[in-house]
């Protein structure tokens, strides 16, 4: 694996993720919305955490903050003991590129490219040589049971297969954290269980920390811990 040191950003013995009194406010005046209202959260390395809550509860905003796709209005976010708020924009981009993987409800695949090319994409950003890139992408597709579909475009794949391609793309760079935002939201029950089985395997066998946003209690049962959001605050954990 590539060297993950990013300008003094190194692993430590701290908890993997710590949020302390984090707020996120959008707009001003009458349009002001407090999406997060001072939340505290600690996630240890190797956990499988499900973030749950109704629409507008703050769960997706929390996910965006944790994935460095948004920044807190106040409070602190520590990743392996490093204050993410002190990182430059470029360093946060490198953090996403080298430490995080993402899977979304809408798959977000490139329509005119093959499954293989979609999975190779994160490795292109890392400037991995073409031969190694292809080998790693094929290995990732094999891990999700699609080694015989690597030439197919998204239009030639079912919804469940497209989500498995998206999982392979997220895992090909061997991230420390996989963020999954409603990963089964567009799938039927059978395909949903297939995706959840893969996520569980990644967590238990590959030791990947998984943070999953879901509204489905059945999917949340796969996690080792469930965190419940309500009105921008953490209501409870189980």
Q: pLDDT for 97-126, tens place per residue? A: 999 999 998 899 999 999 999 999 999 988
Does pTM surpass 0.75?
Answer: yes
DSSP lists the bridge partners of residue 22 as 39
- Tell me, what DSSP letter sits at residue 155? G
> How far is it, in rounded angstroms, from Cα 39 to Cα 118?
36
Edge-to-edge strand list for the sheet holding 33-43: 33-43, 17-26, 74-79, 82-83
User: How confident is the model at residue 1, as a pLDDT?
Assistant: 33
CA distance 232 to 166: 29
Q: What is the Cα–Cα distance from 112 to 126, expressed in whole angstroms?
A: 22
**Where along the chain do its domains lie?**
17-237
* Dist. CA 77–CA 17, nearest whole Å: 7
User: Structurally, what CATH architecture does the domain formed by 17-237 represent?
Assistant: 3-Layer(aba) Sandwich (3.40)
Task: State yes or no: pLDDT of 9 exceeds 70.
Answer: no
Q: Which residue has the tokens 């996120």?
A: 24
Please, which pLDDT band fits residue 218 given cuts at 50, 70 and 90?
A: very high
Strand 177-181 vs strand 209-213: parallel, antiparallel, or unpaired? parallel
Instruction: Report the C-alpha gap between 157 and 165 in whole angstroms.
Output: 9
The reported pLDDT for the residue numbered 12 is: 53
How confident is the model over 157-214, as pLDDT tens digits? Answer: 999 999 999 999 999 999 999 999 999 999 999 999 999 999 999 999 999 999 999 9
d(CA 214, CA 39): 19
């Amino acid at each position: 694996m590539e060297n993950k040191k990013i300008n003094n950003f190194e692993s430590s013995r701290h908890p993997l993720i710590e949020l302390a009194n984090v707020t996120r406010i959008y707009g001003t005046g009458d349009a002001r919305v407090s999406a997060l209202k001072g939340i505290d959260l600690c996630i240890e390395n190797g956990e499988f955490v499900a973030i749950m809550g109704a629409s507008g509860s703050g769960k997706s905003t929390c996910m965006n903050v944790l994935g460095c796709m948004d920044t807190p209005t106040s409070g602190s976010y520590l990743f392996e003991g490093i204050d993410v708020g002190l990182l430059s924009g470029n360093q946060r981009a490198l953090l996403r590129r080298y430490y995080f993987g993402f899977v979304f409800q809408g798959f977000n695949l490139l329509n005119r490219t093959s499954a293989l090319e979609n999975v190779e994409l994160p490795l292109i950003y890392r400037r991995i040589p073409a031969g190694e890139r292809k080998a790693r992408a094929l290995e990732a597709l094999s891990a999700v049971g699609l080694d015989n579909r690597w030439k197919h475009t998204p239009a030639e794949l079912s919804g469940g297969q497209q989500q498995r391609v998206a999982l392979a793309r997220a895992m090909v760079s061997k991230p420390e954290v996989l963020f999954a935002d409603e990963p089964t939201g567009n799938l039927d029950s059978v395909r949903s269980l297939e995706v959840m089985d893969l996520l569980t395997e990644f967590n238990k066998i590959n030791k990947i920390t998984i943070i999953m946003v879901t509204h489905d209690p059945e999917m949340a049962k796969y996690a080792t811990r469930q965190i419940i959001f309500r009105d921008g605050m953490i209501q409870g954990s189980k």
